[in-house]
Chain A
Amino acid sequence: MTGTDEQTLSQRLHAELDALPAPAAPVGAVIRRGAARRTRRWAAAASGLAAVTAVAVSVPLLTSHGQPIARLGPGLRAGHVSRPTASPPTPMLTGTAFAAGTAQGRPWRLSVRNIADPGAHCLPAIMLNATDGYLPPLGGMAAGSNATSGQLPPAGAGVPGGIASLAFLTSVPGQPGTGYAALRVTTDVTRLTVGLRDGGTLTLRPVPVQACGRRLPLAGFSYPGSGVATITAYAGAQVLTRVTPPASLFTGTGSYAAPGTPGSAGSTLRLVPGVWRQLWRSQGTVSSGQVASGRLDGTTWRISVQLGAAGDCFVGRTFDGRVATQATDCVPIALPSATVTLQRFVLQQGTGLTGYAGLASPRAAYLVARLSDGHTLRVQTAQVGGRRYAAFTVPANRTVTKVTAYDRAGVALGIVKFSAAAS
């Protein structure tokens, strides 16, 4: 592209963006929002001091059916190396953590957490800093089976021996130059080496983690934005497999054909910023079901949820007697909420019918939502796949200002307020 081309691009950008009319600056609303954020940060800092004390004497446990099932011994060597900043050589891993370190000045931690509600069937997820998770495949894989080497396996060719699953998380918000990887390996893998595209190398040791009654040998690491060149799994001195992700996978320009089950065609996969992507043996949809349905202003609506590789995906469908619409909104997998975490999405563009859906507290039996016109809605929660969700709709010209969650006895669990911009 020549200098003239650059000038043309600049002119087109100016023509496109400068023409956008900007409304008056909502200074008051922003100041209120910023002040609230500052208050929350102070509160979090104060509670953090208390939490530090608590963490020092407690060990996080992943429970299955209410029973503690995992506890790693102190001093267990972590399967991790942190880049670009150095991390402690042997960080203390407790509970179900299998890797930890520091990247771009921020501590990170990969662990297995039960994302199901208490009492529900255990549902293990691998989570970064307990906030952003994915569901690892739990299917059995014989040690040392199907050993391969070379490029990532082609579609339909099965998976490389030694590495049962491999997932990448790129460009986490706040850390655009850092990626994370999590691997589940077979029990015979004693060591992994990772070649980075910036020339560095990492040596990992799998960490066995008990999760939901299973023993999962896991390893994880952070890597710089240039990506990963090779991952080699060893059983002693023997190379079990070596995978070579293409460089284009990490630059956002490329994709590769992910292998499917034998006989299937597989699928094309791209890394998406901020979302865990499993390169093969993805779980697919783990659970799905209807959260709520109803009729509003002559339109029948229904909101369902799918929990799977794409996260918690809320699917809203409407039918007004003539036209049916469908809208989907996915959010990263999270631990059960203390009250409710709602996402807003437009179900029907024509009428502006808006849906709210999200993960609710396991104890929440119903919500009361207050709308901008003063009306209130009572919303029953629903359990789908061992997690409790809530969903409802509001007309186009109204917004939600406050939601209160109640337990079965009618005791308020918490209040969530919405700013005008957020609602």
Chain B
Amino acid sequence: MLFCDVTGEVAILDTTETSQAEPSRQEEFGQFMAARWPGLVRLAYGLTGDRWLAEDIAQAALASAYAAWWRVRRADDPDAYVRRILINASHRRFRRRRVAEQAHEPQQLASSPLADAAVADPAELIGERSALLAALRELPTRQRAIVLLRYWDDLSDAQVAAVLGCAPGTVRSQASRALAKLRGSAALAGQGGSQ
């Protein structure tokens, strides 16, 4: 019900536009995208904590929006539609779990082929980012999205609910839980807390 399909980092085939309506469609979409691009990249950055990944996710989300542009532009709230795609794309990237570069003893390269290649929990894979983003990363995906939409994008509970496809009451309760977790976050405590 919620999210649109967003591809990962796989093949993208080049095609040639043939439709007569393409120029106006491209122009319209280009204006839409130019206005939303910074905000979407920042939202994705808040969700992922990774700038490179944020730009890629924002591109993937907007590509999905372009692929279904006739549906996006007719939506009651195109911005909510695209945010929804982006959050879903970010969520999907959880499937690709990354372990950041880990230094280890040189001799391990020759002596231990795979036995020590422990795979960390993706939820724990935190690169370089601020304590606030690190604390956000500790939240479940939905709570993280709610925090960002509510406190950074300044959306109302109803608007957040429309983006996430849930009830406003759910938004309020999830936001409350998220804030409670952030308040107790050790990462934030070290910087004086966000609370």
Using a CB–CB distance below 8 Å, which chain A residues touch chain B? Answer: 1, 5-6, 8-10, 12-14, 16-18, 20, 22-23, 25-27, 29-41, 104-106, 132, 171, 173-177, 251-253, 270, 272-275, 288-290, 300, 302, 304, 306, 310-311, 313, 315, 317-319, 322-332, 341-349, 416-419, 421-423
Residues 36 to 84 of chain B near chain A (Cβ within 8 Å) = 37-38, 41-43, 45-46, 51, 55-56, 59-60, 62-69
In the docked arrangement, what's the CA distance between A421 and B139, Å?
28
Closest to A321 in B: B106
Using a CB–CB distance below 8 Å, which chain B residues touch chain A? Answer: 1-7, 9-15, 17, 26, 29-30, 33-34, 37-38, 41-43, 45-46, 51, 55-56, 59-60, 62-69, 88, 91-92, 94-106, 108-109, 113-114, 117, 119-123, 130, 132-133, 139-143, 147-148, 151-152, 154, 164-166, 176, 179-183, 194-195
Are B123 and A288 interface neighbours, CB within 8 A?
no
Take A17-B42, A104-B2, A416-B10 as given contacts and tell me if A324 and B91 are in contact as well, using a CB distance cutoff of 8 Å: no
Are B151 and A315 interface neighbours, CB within 8 A?
no
Are B106 and A324 interface neighbours, CB within 8 A?
yes
In the docked arrangement, what's the CA distance between A348 and B5, Å?
31
Closest to A39 in B: B15
Shortest distance between the CB of A227 and any CB in chain B (Å): 12
New A-B contacts (10) at CB < 8 Å, excluding given A176-B2, A422-B10: A17-B152, A27-B33, A105-B1, A174-B92, A252-B143, A274-B91, A324-B103, A332-B95, A421-B59, A422-B56
Are A9 and B151 interface neighbours, CB within 8 A?
yes
Are A37 and B102 interface neighbours, CB within 8 A?
no
Return chain A residues, CB-CB under 8 Å to B4. Answer: 174
Are A326 and B59 interface neighbours, CB within 8 A?
no
Can you list 24 A-B contacts with CB-CB less than 8 angstroms, sorted by A residue number? A1-B179, A9-B195, A10-B154, A23-B55, A30-B63, A32-B15, A39-B13, A104-B1, A173-B92, A173-B94, A174-B88, A176-B2, A272-B122, A273-B91, A304-B117, A315-B114, A324-B105, A325-B101, A326-B101, A327-B101, A328-B117, A329-B96, A329-B98, A421-B56
Are A9 and B179 interface neighbours, CB within 8 A?
yes
Are A33 and B91 interface neighbours, CB within 8 A?
no
Are A302 and B109 interface neighbours, CB within 8 A?
yes
Return chain A residues, CB-CB under 8 Å to B165. Answer: 177
In the docked arrangement, what's the CA distance between A158 and B141, Å?
33
Are A418 and B194 interface neighbours, CB within 8 A?
no
Are B106 and A323 interface neighbours, CB within 8 A?
yes
Within 8 Å by CB of B33, from A30, A331, A341, lies: A30
Return chain A residues, CB-CB under 8 Å to B43. Answer: 17
Are B10 and A341 interface neighbours, CB within 8 A?
yes
Are B94 and A272 interface neighbours, CB within 8 A?
yes
Are B101 and A348 interface neighbours, CB within 8 A?
yes
Shortest distance between the CB of A335 and any CB in chain B (Å): 15
Shortest distance between the CB of B126 and any CB in chain A (Å): 14
In the docked arrangement, what's the CA distance between A374 and B132, Å?
43
In the docked arrangement, what's the CA distance between A26 and B164, Å?
26
Closest to B136 in A: A13
Return chain B residues, CB-CB under 8 Å to A322. Answer: 106
In the docked arrangement, what's the CA distance between A136 and B56, Å?
34
Within 8 Å by CB of A344, from B9, B26, B152, B166, lies: B9
Return chain A residues, CB-CB under 8 Å to B142. Answer: 171, 176
Within 8 Å by CB of A329, from B99, B132, B152, lies: B99
Within 8 Å by CB of A324, from B95, B96, B104, B176, lies: B104
Within 8 Å by CB of A37, from B67, B97, B114, lies: B67
Are A35 and B141 interface neighbours, CB within 8 A?
no
Are B123 and A272 interface neighbours, CB within 8 A?
yes
Which of the listed residues B5, B99, B130 has the most CB atoms from chain A within 10 Å of its own CB?
Answer: B99
